[in-house]
Structures are given as structure tokens and as C-alpha cells.
Structure 1
Amino acid sequence: MAGRNKISFHKNAIVQALFVTFLWSSSWVFIKVGLQGQGLPPLTFAGLRYFLGFLFLLPFVLKQDSSKIKELSGRQWWELLGLGFIMYAATQGAQFLSLAHFPAVLITLILNFTPIVVALLSLILLRESASLKQVIGIGVCLLGSALYFIPHLQQDVGWTWLLLIPVIGMLANAGAAISGRAINRKEHLSPRVVTIISMGFGSVILLVAGLLTEQMPILGVKQILIVLWLAGINTAFAFTLWNHTLRTLSSVESSVINNTMMIQIAVLAVIFLGERLSVLDVVALVIASAGALLVQLGRRVETK
């Protein structure tokens, strides 16, 4: 009986984790819609989403972890604030700016390089050696990306310099992953504490930067609903549910499930945003996604 309950809990955790990745993937559609026309400016949009998400989470974290927050040292505060800057201000700021200029599929393909950069940075900064599976995964990911980019670059050379924005976002995302792993590896801090402090600080930077550099947003009913949904459901609720699934799922299982987002985003972009994918594009995305998964699995298995 206990064995059946364990299997049931595991299946439920898988379904819940897949649901979270669907929510996160749908965020790209909501962001693109919110940015359209005279919609929300990208930095202000990002700041509103994560600052409201921070406010939604704050009461629960203070109720459960207020004593842990009070015990933080000065060095720990600086590390968490630094994580907030790179994870939210830099990564999310670049992502929202990128989605204002590029198709969602292209941005997620660039972000797909994150595990490769993480593996390289881990080798340099954390002295974690690369496995054979990671090396093969890097090659496969590069092949898939080349299959996607080469035809598009031949068609549209004029916008290539703007690719610096999503590339910066990808590098920031990789840096956030390294920083987060380093903090969790040596500090043993509660994930809720890490999330609330980093999200709060990073979202304030985004919001202030947006209000100083962009026009005041025109918030119609559609924009308000999108921001509230992204903050409440796709941020506060989704992060909480994801952390809950991590109590049951292994790191390898979580990596595999999280890696499905690339395909989910591509499908949602075609259905809801009208983005077009050729057969070669689909093949390239699948190959690149498989390569990124190999890199993640190689790291997870080796450091487990």
C-alpha cells in the first residue's frame, strides 16, 4: 500500500512539474501580447511582473522564514542581492527587451545555450569537470542551432547586431545559475529566502530602470490582467509549486521536464502568435533541445 502511495505521489509530482513548465512557457505568449502596439514598455513590464510576484510571496515567506532572514550575515545579504541583480534585473530585463524585437522561438533557442555556458563556467569557476555526455551534448546543441540560424541569417542580416540583447540575457542567465548553485552549495539557505530576497531586489531595479528610461505605461484592462496573471500565477504560484515537486522528483527528472519548455514555447508561439516554423526549423529545435538536455543530464548525474 505504501509503495502504491509513493508511485502515486511521484506521478502527481510529474504532472504538477509539467503543468508548471506549461505556465512558464505560456508566459512568453503573454509577454509578447503585452508588448504589442502601445502596450507595456519591456523593462517596466518586467519590473511590474516580478515586483508584484515578490509582494504575493512576501507574506508566506515572512510567516515561515522570518527568523532565517534575520539570521543572514552581511556577506549573505550581498550575495543574494548580487544574485537578484543578475537573475532578474539582467536576465529578465534582457528577455523582455528581446521579446520586443524577436520571435519567441528564436529567443528560446538562444537561451537553450545556457546549460552549455553553465558547464563551461562550472569548469572554470567551480572546478567541476565536464563529462563525455556534456561534450557530446554541446556538439549536438551547436549543430541544431546552426541548422536554425544559418538560413535565417542569410535572409535577414540587418537585425543580427540586435542579437546581442538575447545573448547578454543568456549569459546573465548562465551566471545566475552558477551564482545560485554556489550560494546553495555553501550556504544551505532556504530556497524561499533566496527567491524572495533576490526577486525583490532585482524587480525593484527593473521597475526603477523602466520608469526612468521608458514612457509611463498605459494600463488598460488587458495589460492589468496580463501583469496580474504573470505575477500571481506564472510567478508566485508556479515557483511555489515547482519547489514542491522538487521534494519528490530527482534533479535528473526535473531537468528533463524543464527541458520540454523549448518545444512548448515553439508550439504556443505558432498557435497564438502566428510565428512560422519550417520543417528545418522544427528539426533544428529538436536537435538543439536534445543537445541541451544531454549537457544538463551529464552535469546532474555527475554532481548528484
Structure 2
Amino acid sequence: MKWFADFSLLLVALIWGVTFVIVQNAIEFLPPLLFNGIRFFLAFLILFTVLLFRKKIRELNAITWRNGLILGLCLAIGYAFQTIGLLYTTVSKAGFITGLSVVLVPILSLFILKKRPTPLAIIGSFIAATGLYLLTAGGEGGWNIGDFFVLIGAFGFAFHIIFTDAFTQQSSAVALTSVQILTVSVLCSLGGFIMEDWQTTLTADNLLQTHVWGALLITAFAATALAFFLQTHAQKFTTPTRVALLLAMEPVFAAITAFFWIDERLAAAGLTGCLLIFFGMILAEIPIHKFLPGHVVQKEK
């Protein structure tokens, strides 16, 4: 099952990487917050149907709702700012900036969980930060407001990873995922109706655009319901470090997709920045303690 778990996580990274281009095309017709609101509501309907079919509605208890609301808030911040950022920046830059969440996790864990990061995690963070500078300020087009929005989103995803680690043992995976996805849908929809011109854009003409309904169906099923289910299931058969390493391929897939699909190219400084961010993400997740003298190998639960 371990090889299947690794394949599943690599598939998740591929799905998330490819959908950067799909989402960017869709939000030319439908505002980003409303797009996410509809996308996550469709994904919730899919997962809720699974709960009904499996007769697991009772798993939606008070603890699950509390934890799901917290995780949903983190995800809403991540997806809302990431999608808004795609209005102003490129797919490649958005993918690699989002990938910084892997590096942010050990840093934020120090302050939230009082868990000291490894030396390699600290070094990896500095390398990734240097890469971020080259990708944005030193890259083609320079630093822009879209890059800043995507960076805020990366913090949201990092907090989501940290809190997920604390909550997964307290609730059913499908039930917990359902609540957080519903939370994202509600928050993004409210934000869309308050801050976006929904009267003009939420029309049949826009919703019937191929870029819009195609993106909604693909992201709702593949990039949300299926991807989160695969990630949750796969983590039972592999280590957290391996999970992070495999998901770090997401920005690479995003850049490759943007290159072949929309002919998006990075300048030399931007490409160097991408390589440094990717190297920093990998370095931050290397379990150096396992190679130190006196380390006792324990069976992964």
C-alpha cells in the first residue's frame, strides 16, 4: 500500500498544480470569491452524499464542527487570497509562492506548538526566502500585489497543515473534511456577495462559459473532494515527511502546465528563484535527526 499512497499523493500534487491554469482562466468571467464559494459547495455536496451513503451523519458531532470550522477558516484564507492573487500574477509565480507553505510550517510550529525546527528546516527557509525574492522582486514583472495576496494564502495553507495535524485524530476524515469545505464555501460566498459585483457577473451567460462550468466541475470534484480524500487516506500508509516532499511537486506541475498550456515563461532570475524555493522546500523536510548517532527507529503509526 505504501507505493499506492505515494502515487496518490503525487496525483494530488499534479491535480492541484494543473488547476492553477484552469482557475486563472475561469476567474476572468466569475469573481474569485464567488468562484470558490460555488466550487467548495459542490465539493461539500459530494462529500455529504458519501456520508449519507455510508450512514455516517452522526460523525458530524460538536468536536468535528469546532475543528472543521477552524480548519475551514484557514483554508478559506488560503484559497481566497490565492485565487485573488491569480488575477494579478502568473501561474508559475503563484504555484511556487503557495509552495512556501511547506517551509512556513516548521517556523510557525515553533511559535504555536513550541516545536523547535530542525537546522535544515531553518536553512531551507532562508534559501526559499531568497528564492521568493528572485521570483518576485527580481523576476519578470517584479513584485506585485498578486504575489502579496498569494503569500497571505500560503500562510493560510501552512496554518491548515499545522491544525490538521492536531485535529485528525479527533474526528472522522470524511466528516472533518466535509465541515471545513462547507466553511470555506460559506465564508467565500459571503465575501463574494459583500465585496464583489455578483449582480453583474453571476449570470447564466457567465456560468455557461466553458472555462467557468468546466473549472467548477474539475476543481470541485478532482481538486477538492477527491484530492482531500486521497491525501487523508494516503497519510495512513506513509510518513508526514514523505507527504510534504511529494506535495512539494505541486508548484513544479503548475509551472510545467503553464509553460505548455499558455506558453508562460519565466525570466532567468524567476527560474532561479523557483529552483531555490523548491530546493528549500525539500531541504526543510529532510529528517536529519534520523541520521544522527543514537537515533532509534520507531514504527510509524
With normalisation by structure 2, the TM-score equals 0.85
Structure 1 66/56 Cα, relative in aligned 2: closer, same or farther at 3 Å?
Answer: same
Could you say which residue in structure 2 is the equivalent of 1:6? none
Q: Do the aligned partners of 2:68 and 2:179 also contact (CA within 8 Å) in 1?
A: yes
Q: Does the alignment pair 1:66 with 2:57?
A: yes
Structure 1 206/31 Cα, relative in aligned 2: closer, same or farther at 3 Å?
Answer: same
Query: 1:229-252 CA distances to partner (integer Å, 9 max, x unpaired)?
Result: 211222212222333322333222
Q: Does the alignment pair 1:32 with 2:24?
A: yes
Could you say which residue in structure 2 is the equivalent of 1:256? 245
Q: Does the alignment pair 1:47 with 2:37?
A: yes
Higher helix share: 1
Q: Does the alignment pair 1:270 with 2:259?
A: yes
> What CA distance in whole angstroms lies between the structure 1 residues aligned with 2:151 and 2:222?
27
Displacement after TM superposition at 1:260 (Å): 0.9
Structure 1 161/248 Cα, relative in aligned 2: closer, same or farther at 3 Å?
Answer: closer
Q: Secondary structure at the match of 2:228?
A: helix
Q: Do the aligned partners of 1:98 and 1:107 also contact (CA within 8 Å) in 2?
A: yes
Q: Secondary structure at the match of 2:89?
A: coil
Query: 1:235-287 CA distances to partner (integer Å, 9 max, x unpaired)?
Result: 21222233332233322222221111111111111111221113443232122
Could you say which residue in structure 2 is the equivalent of 1:3? none
RMSD across aligned C-alpha pairs, in angstroms? 2.5
Q: Does the alignment pair 1:95 with 2:82?
A: yes
Query: 1:183-214 CA distances to partner (integer Å, 9 max, x unpaired)?
Result: 33xx5222222211111122112123213332
Displacement after TM superposition at 1:29 (Å): 1.2
Q: 2:174 aligns with which of 192, 200, 221?
A: 192
Give runs of ≥4 in structure 1 deviating > 6 Å. Answer: 299-304
Q: Does the alignment pair 1:169 with 2:153?
A: yes
Could you say which residue in structure 2 is the equivalent of 1:83? 71
> What CA distance in whole angstroms lies between the structure 2 residues aligned with 1:30 and 1:147?
26
Could you say which residue in structure 2 is the equivalent of 1:231? 220
Displacement after TM superposition at 1:161 (Å): 4.4
> What CA distance in whole angstroms lies between the structure 1 residues aligned with 2:165 and 2:171?
11
Q: Which amino acid aligns with 1:196?
A: S
> What CA distance in whole angstroms lies between the structure 1 residues aligned with 2:157 and 2:289?
18
Q: Do the aligned partners of 1:44 and 1:211 also contact (CA within 8 Å) in 2?
A: yes
Displacement after TM superposition at 1:182 (Å): 2.8
Q: Secondary structure at the match of 2:285?
A: helix
Q: Which amino acid aligns with 2:221?
A: G
Could you say which residue in structure 2 is the equivalent of 1:128? 115
Displacement after TM superposition at 1:294 (Å): 1.9
Q: Do the aligned partners of 2:121 and 2:283 also contact (CA within 8 Å) in 1?
A: yes
Structure 1 201/264 Cα, relative in aligned 2: closer, same or farther at 3 Å?
Answer: same
Displacement after TM superposition at 1:130 (Å): 1.3
Q: 1:181 aligns with which of 165, 187, 192?
A: 165
Report the number of matched residues: 285
With normalisation by structure 1, the TM-score equals 0.84
Q: Do the aligned partners of 1:134 and 1:298 also contact (CA within 8 Å) in 2?
A: no
Gaps of 5+ in 2: none
> What CA distance in whole angstroms lies between the structure 1 residues aligned with 2:164 and 2:289?
15
Q: Which amino acid aligns with 2:286?
A: L
Q: Which amino acid aligns with 2:72?
A: G
Displacement after TM superposition at 1:298 (Å): 4.4
Q: Do the aligned partners of 1:263 and 1:286 also contact (CA within 8 Å) in 2?
A: no
Displacement after TM superposition at 1:19 (Å): 1.9
Q: 1:220 aligns with which of 208, 214, 237?
A: 208
